[in-house]
């Protein structure tokens, strides 16, 4: 394996070619340990950011990230090379987050009325959100998520929050999210719809329809 997971065709100019993730994990399964370094480099920051949005304790985030890549290393031989590697590694990360929630007894979320704890003094999160509330006009999903909604997203039910984080922050397709969450595409779409509906209401945008917190 060439350095950085890049090779050039024989007889061709020395042009860097990105080796597919699936090929890297396949070569790792056959004992090429150098491929693990490339996999780690490609996905470390993405997985770190994903876990960080689910777990607020920095030390726990670091431990979970390490556990994810340890499982990738140990389970390389179990990877189905006909599948997409990114979906597989995110599924591992999601499972580790769920194990963490189970060990700690509950999800870690922010309180809307808790002090910000920064240079803003004793301002409360609820006040901050109220100041940034958008007007009840027609707002597209893209516009909705361009706002500073992290504090509100933290309040979503677990399954809905996972879908929102994977879609908005990690830019995965709904098909990939369905594979990661091990559920039908229709369920993922419903979770996203309910999440967007909740966020609109919390922002003061009128929304009609049912809610499904446990979906």
Rounded to whole angstroms, how far apart are CA atoms 193 and 215? 11
Q: What is the CA radius of gyration of the chain?
A: 20
Say yes or no: do domains 16-104 and 125-202 share a fold.
no
Q: Are 110 and 154 in contact (CB under 8 A)?
A: yes
Buried b (16+ CB within 10 A) or exposed e, 85-116: bbbbbbebbbebbeebeeeeeebebeebeeee
Domain 16-104 architecture: Orthogonal Bundle (1.10)
Mean per-residue pLDDT of the chain:
77
Domain boundary assignment for the chain: 16-104, 125-202
CATH number of 125-202: 1.10.10.10
Q: Is a pLDDT exceeding 50 seen at residue 119?
A: no
What pLDDT score was predicted for residue 183?
94
Q: Is a pLDDT exceeding 80 seen at residue 61?
A: yes
What pLDDT score was predicted for residue 212?
58
Which H or E run contains 6?
strand 6-7
Instruction: Write out the two tokens for 117.
Output: 């704890």
Higher pLDDT, 78 or 206: 78
Q: Is a pLDDT exceeding 50 seen at residue 192?
A: yes
**Diameter of the chain measured on Cα atoms:** 66
What pLDDT score was predicted for residue 39?
95
């Amino acid at each position: 394996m060439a350095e950085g997971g890049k090779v050039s065709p024989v007889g061709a100019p020395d042009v860097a070619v990105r080796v597919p993730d699936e090929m890297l994990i396949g070569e790792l399964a056959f004992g090429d340990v150098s491929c693990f370094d490339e996999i780690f480099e490609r996905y470390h920051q993405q997985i770190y950011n994903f876990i960080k949005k689910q777990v607020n304790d920095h030390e726990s985030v670091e431990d979970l990230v390490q556990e994810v890549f340890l499982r990738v290393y140990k389970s390389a031989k179990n990877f189905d090379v006909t599948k997409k590697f990114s979906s597989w590694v995110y599924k591992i990360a999601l499972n580790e987050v769920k194990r963490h929630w189970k060990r700690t007894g509950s999800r870690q979320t922010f309180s809307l009325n808790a002090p910000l704890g920064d240079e803003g003094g004793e301002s409360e999160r609820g006040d901050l959100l109220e100041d940034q509330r958008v007007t009840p006009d027609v707002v597209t999903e893209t516009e909705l998520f361009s706002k500073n909604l992290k504090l509100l997203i933290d309040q979503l039910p677990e399954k809905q929050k996972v879908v929102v984080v994977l879609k908005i922050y990690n830019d995965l397709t709904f098909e990939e999210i369905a594979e990661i969450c091990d559920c039908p595409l229709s369920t993922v779409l419903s979770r996203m719809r309910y999440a967007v509906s909740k966020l609109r209401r919390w922002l003061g945008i009128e929304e009609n329809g049912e809610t499904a917190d446990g979906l």
